[in-house]
Amino acid sequence: VAIYDVSLTIREGMVVWPGDPAPHIERVRSIERGDHLNLSSLSLGVHTGTHIDAPLHFVHKGSSVEEIPLETLVGPAHVVYLPHTPLISIKDLQPVFPTGCQRLILHTRNSDERILRGSSFCQDFVALSPEAARWLVEQGVRLIGIDALSIASYGAGELTHYTLLSNGVIIIEGLDLYQVPAGQYTLYCLPLKIAQVEGAPARVLLVKPEE
C-alpha cells in the first residue's frame, strides 16, 4: 500500500490567504528554560493550510464542520492531473472525469510549482470555473479537493464556492499533490471536530491499494 500524505505542514510563516490570521505556535513551557516539560500553544485561522470548507462558509445556516458526514470525507476518490490549464473548465474535466465519481481531487500545476510551500501568497493559481463547478454538481460529486488555498480564482470566489456549498458539496483546499499520480485512491479526510465553524484544518491521506 502506498500512503500519500497530501496535507501541508502547519508552521509559522507558512502561506495563508491574504488577510487571514497567520498561524502562531508558541512553546509556553520549556525544558530548555527550566520547566519540567514542554508545552505548546497554537492559534490559527480555520482556513489555514490543508482544510475543508463546510456549507456554512457561504450558506446562511448551512451545515458546519462537525455536521459533515464521515461517509462524504472517507471513501473512493479519483485524482485527475490537469497540468496545462490556467482555469479548470468543463472541457478540461469531460475527458478525464470517471462516470459516477463522487470524490474528485484536482492536481494542477499549483502542486508542481509548489506554490503552497513557498513563503508568499501567489495570486495566479489554478482554480475551478463556476461553470465547471455547476457541471460537477450535476454529475453527482459530493467532495472536491484542490491544490490551492481557494477552489475559486483570486477575487472571484463567490459563485464557484456558492454553487458547490449550496448543493452540499464539501471542498478540500490547500492539498499538496506534488508527485501524486492520477488514478483511483481511498481518501481519508479528517477535519478537526470544531463546533459551529465553517472550515477546519484537516489531515488528508490518499491511499493506493496494492495492485
- Least distance from C-beta 170 to Zn ion, angstroms? 11
- Cβ neighbours of residue 69 under 8 Å, at least 6 residues apart? none
- Least distance from C-beta 171 to Zn ion, angstroms? 7
Q: Which ranges constitute the DSSP H helices of the chain?
A: 70-73, 90-93, 109-112, 130-138, 158-165
Q: Would you say 41 and 26 are in contact if contact means Cβ atoms under 8 Å apart?
A: yes
Q: Which residue's CB is nearer to Zn ion, number 80 or number 146?
A: 146
Q: Which of 24, 36, 47, 57 is catalytic?
A: 57
- Least distance from C-beta 38 to Zn ion, angstroms? 31
Give CA–CA dist 25/185, Å, rounded.
33
- Cβ neighbours of residue 136 under 8 Å, at least 6 residues apart? 93, 97, 104, 128, 144, 164, 169
Distance from the first to the final alpha carbon of the chain? 9
* Per-residue x/- track, 114-153, Zn ion (CB under 5 A): ----------------------------------------
Q: Would you say 30 and 38 are in contact if contact means Cβ atoms under 8 Å apart?
A: yes
- Least distance from C-beta 149 to Zn ion, angstroms? 7
Q: Which residue's CB is nearer to Zn ion, number 47 or number 107?
A: 47
C-alpha to C-alpha distances, 173 to 74, 127, 150, nearest whole angstrom: 16, 10, 6
- Has 36 been annotated as catalytic? no
* Per-residue x/- track, 93-112, Zn ion (CB under 5 A): --------------------
Strand partners, 185: 77
Does 198 bind Zn ion (CB under 5 A)? Our answer is no
Binding residues for Zn ion, how many (CB under 5 A)?
4
Residue 87's nearest CA partner among 117, 108, 58 is 108
- Contacts with Zn ion in 29-68 (CB under 5 A)? 47, 53
Q: Which residue's CB is nearer to Zn ion, number 90 or number 162?
A: 162
- Least distance from C-beta 70 to Zn ion, angstroms? 19
Choose the binding region for Zn ion from 22-30, 70-78, 129-137, 191-199 (rule: CB under 5 A): 191-199
Q: Which residues bind to Zn ion, rule: CB under 5 A?
A: 47, 53, 173, 199
Kindly list the catalytic residues: 57
